[in-house]
Amino acid sequence: MNEENLSAGDILAWYVLAGVDETLGELPFGKEISEAGQPVVQVMQKPAEVVRPVGLSVQPLQESEEGRRPATTELAQATINACKNARELCQQAQSLDELKALVEGFEGCALKLTATRTVFGYGSPHPKLVLVGEAPGADEDRAGIPFVGRSGHLLDLILKAAGFDREKDCYITNVLPWRPPGNRTPTTAEVAVCLPFLRRQIELASPEAVILLGGSAANALLENEEPISRMRGKWLEYQTGDGRKIPAIATFHPAYLLRNAAQKAKIWSDFLRLRKKIS
């Protein structure tokens, strides 16, 4: 087939084969578009351009003596403002429903631009357990509910086998309420901006125990950099913003178990330890 004869469908199929399966914006990067909407000149992406989360109010920064501040400084300032904004919103929310509405209206995290839905926590508002994963995947992004894909089904089986009812006993959530494009690892800034929402969910749900599914959730909430293999297998403690100490368990993420079935015995022993303490 001659290149010029390629249809839009052929090109799309080629993109999918090459792994390009996410739309990140309406315009291509590194191209200039004429007023008529035609790409006209191919240019290098401007190095100093700041990609700023939409709707974020960024305080004007003092210009340094040498001229403009580097873009990274502006981005860091935008992240600091977004974190502050998230913390203030959290203080306004006196129930999980109120917090959900505030998170849905929050514009301080650019992940919202590429996600289909906001995936807020789901389950009992007065649960025995709060379970925390990393971020929604493709299935959760479509459904708007955490842990409904393959990992979610495995989690349901584990909970049931340990004698917990997902709907009655659990509130399930993630560090991030928006899916990172292509399931990439969340950045430190994205985690920092969204963390106040997670911490407030735990405060409002006030569970008997917190279950941290995987290293990312455990590192974010326990504020450490320990590998999950060193954190699991014992009782830990999570401290809420208002000073309450809640027993916590860090264990493997169900997605890891789908790839490493040999580790299932370990997550099972973690849930049995949990069952002994929380009946």
Residues 6 or more apart whose Cβ sits within 8 Å of residue 200? 90, 93, 99, 241
Q: Which stretch binds ligand URA (CB under 6 A): 67-75, 134-142, 187-195, 265-273?
A: 134-142
Q: Which is nearer to ligand URA, 179 or 199 (CB)?
A: 179
Q: For residue 249, is it left (φ>0), alpha (ψ between -120 and 50) or beta?
A: beta
Both structure tokens of 119: 């995936």
- Closer CB to ligand URA, residue 189 or residue 255? 255
For the bound state, the minimum distance from the C-beta of residue 38 to ligand URA, rounded and expressed in Å, comes to: 41
**Spatial distance between the Cα atoms of 215 and 226, rounded to a whole number of angstroms:** 8
Window 150-179: contact mask with ligand URA (x via CB under 6 A): -x----------------------x-----
Rounded CA-CA distance 141/115 in Å is: 7
Q: Is 141 a binder of ligand URA (CB under 6 A)? A: no
- Which range touches ligand URA (CB under 6 A), out of 67-75, 103-111, 146-154, 225-233? 146-154
Q: Around Cβ 155, how many Cβ atoms within 10 Å?
A: 26
CB of 45 to ligand URA, least distance (A): 31
Is 137 a binding residue for ligand URA by CB under 6 A? The answer is yes
Total site size for ligand URA, rule CB under 6 A? 12
> Residues 81, 58: contact at Cβ < 8 Å?
yes
Sequence-ordered list of residues with C-beta below 8 angstroms from that of 152, at least 6 positions apart, any chain: 139, 140, 146, 254
Q: Does 136 bind ligand URA (CB under 6 A)?
A: yes
Residues 185 and 134: their CA atoms lie apart, in Å, by 9
Pick the closer one to ligand URA by CB: 53 or 254: 254
Assess 180 for contact with ligand URA (CB under 6 A).
Answer: no
Choose one: 69-77, 128-136, 163-171, 239-247; the region binding ligand URA (CB under 6 A).
128-136
C-beta of 76: minimal distance to ligand URA in Å?
Answer: 27
Q: Centre a 10 Å sphere on the Cβ of residue 150 and count the other Cβ atoms it contains.
A: 13
Q: Would you say 253 and 213 are in contact if contact means Cβ atoms under 8 Å apart?
A: yes
Q: Which one of 133, 180, 186, 215 is in contact with ligand URA (CB under 6 A)? A: 133
What is the nearest approach in angstroms of ligand URA to the Cβ of residue 255?
6
DSSP string, 12-51: HHHHHHTT------SS-TTEEE-TTS-EEEE-PPPTT---
Footprint of ligand URA (CB under 6 A): 133-137, 140, 146-147, 149, 151, 174, 255
